[in-house]
Structure 1
Amino acid sequence: MTYRLLALFALLVAAPLARAQTAPVPAAAAAAATKLPRYSTSTGLITFFSTAPLEDIEALNPKVAAVFEMATGQLAFSMLMRDFQFKNTLMQEHFNENYAESEKYPRARFTGTLVTMPDEATLRSGPQPVYVQGVLTIHGVKRKVRVPGTLHLRGNDLVVTSKFAVAPADYKIKIPALVRNNIAKSIDVSVIMTCQPATTATASR
């Protein structure tokens, strides 16, 4: 990840990022994107949903910080686990204390790179399907992932979306036997971020 991207992201989240071990975007695709700016947000939205026979579990986090470098296709985001909001206060307490262990592992992070980069004209024509590969860190555990998403240049904004599944067991999140049947083995995660050109977004902070 470039120094400029790391520096900007550090300003947004006030925390260091591990470098993603991913393949670079092909040279031709990167060249097509060199005229496009860097984008960022501090108000991205991530939600997760778990369905089970006894009770569905849903939470949202509207304070996700992200940086997207169009010239290289590199993406990074970070969020505080305690910023997830639940409808049920007791469920929120259990999430932070027993599952996420938010005091010990306060942040979740992702650093990655687009597998392919659509050109500007294509991005402005509507949401374009893409794949991102990188490293997702949750509960102190790092795992290489490849997830689908979409990119869309809408006016001055870059809209980023993604939907994928996360298995708590993959990140050493232990589920007590008493409630094991009430929590799905795989949790659906949705991401939507409306990012602005970085110079605009950082100036407003």
Structure 2
Amino acid sequence: MNRIIILLSLLIHFTDSDKRSDQVITRQGQVSFFSYTSVENIEAKNNQVLSIIDFSKNEIAISMLMNAFIFKKSLMHEHFNESYIESDLYPKATFQGTIIDFDPLEKGIQTKIVKGTLTIRDISKEVEIKTNIENIDGKYVITGDFEVVVKDFDIKIPPILAPNIAKIISIKFRFEYQPYEK
């Protein structure tokens, strides 16, 4: 009788430890952008990006404060926030989407398409982003890159500065998720 009780308690313990949360979160995701021109390259990084994935629906949501981007030159930071992004009026950029054909139980790396809506300066655009999603013992790392066309988000660049800013900006991201504790 004691053996049966011990076996049942072990089975319950291992069954409970194999359960995964339906949601994972990162509060320190990383997004960077790069603008190449023959005059000057512009780079910035933001390490304060919030993202959550709901595995029950394969949905992903991302939110970031635009003024959290760090530049090599303070003047670039000032121009980015005041003149181009207008972060006092549009403080956040967001993304809401679905990871297509994703199996959260599969170990290793899966290359998947994420389809969704990117919103910058209250302008929303549908995008498809190729991502690599790595499952390491229930911890997930998502990486990828894509491009954003500046005019799609009504970012005004004065003609005199047009040679200094690329028309297409390269975006890279890396999110390391942990189980979400409610």
TM bucket (normalised to shorter chain) is 0.7 to 0.9
Cα distance in 2 for partners of 1:144, 1:49 equals 21
Report SS of the residue matched to 2:52.
Answer: strand
Q: Does 1:73 align with 2:58?
A: yes
Which entry has the higher C-alpha Rg, 1 or 2? 2
Superposition deviation, residue 86 in structure 1: 0.2
The one-letter code of the counterpart of 1:88 is K
Deviation of 1:119 after TM superposition, in Å, equals 4.9
**1:42 aligned onto 2:24:** no
Deviation at 1:39, TM superposition (A): 0.4
Whole-angstrom CA distance in 2 between matches of 1:162 and 1:71 = 22
Tell me the distance in 2 between the aligned counterparts of 1:161 and 1:69.
17
- Secondary structure of 1:120's match? coil
Question: Which residue identity does 2:132 align to in structure 1?
Answer: T
Specify the SS of the correspondent of 2:38: coil
Q: Secondary structure at the match of 1:189?
A: strand
User: Could you tell me which residue of structure 1 aligns to residue 12 of structure 2?
Assistant: none
User: CA-atom RMSD, angstroms?
Assistant: 1.4
Gaps of 5+ in 1: 1-33
Normalized against structure 2, the TM-score is what?
0.86
Q: Check whether the contact 1:36–1:71 (CA below 8 A) recurs between aligned residues.
A: no
Task: Supply the distance in 2 between the matched residues of 1:59 and 1:157 (Cα, whole angstroms).
Answer: 27
The total of aligned residue pairs comes to 164
**1:164, 1:189 within 8 Å by CA — same for their partners in 2?**
yes
**Residue identity (%):** 35
| Structure-2 residue corresponding to 1:93 | 78
2:37 match? 52
SS at match of 2:78: helix
Q: Write the deviation string for residues 26-65 of structure 1: whole angstroms up to 9, x where unpaired.
A: xxxxxxxx96631001100000001100110000000000
Match of 1:168 in 2: 150
Alignment match of 1:148 (pick from 106, 126, 130): 130
Is this contact kept in 2: 1:48–1:188, CA < 8 A? yes
The CA distance in 2 between the partners of 1:87 and 1:74, in whole Å, is 34
Change in CA separation of 1:188 and 1:70 when aligned onto 2, cut-off 3 Å: same
CA drift of 1:155 comes to 2.9
How high is the TM-score relative to the length of structure 1? 0.77
Task: Measure, in 1, the Cα distance between the counterparts of 2:54 and 2:144.
Answer: 17
Structure 2 unpaired stretches of 5+: 1-18
CA distance in 2, matches of 1:57, 1:119: 36
The structure 1 segments of at least 4 consecutive aligned residues displaced by more than 2 Å after TM superposition are: 34-37
**Equivalent AA in structure 1 for residue 124 of structure 2:** K
Normalized per residue, which structure has more strand? Answer: 2
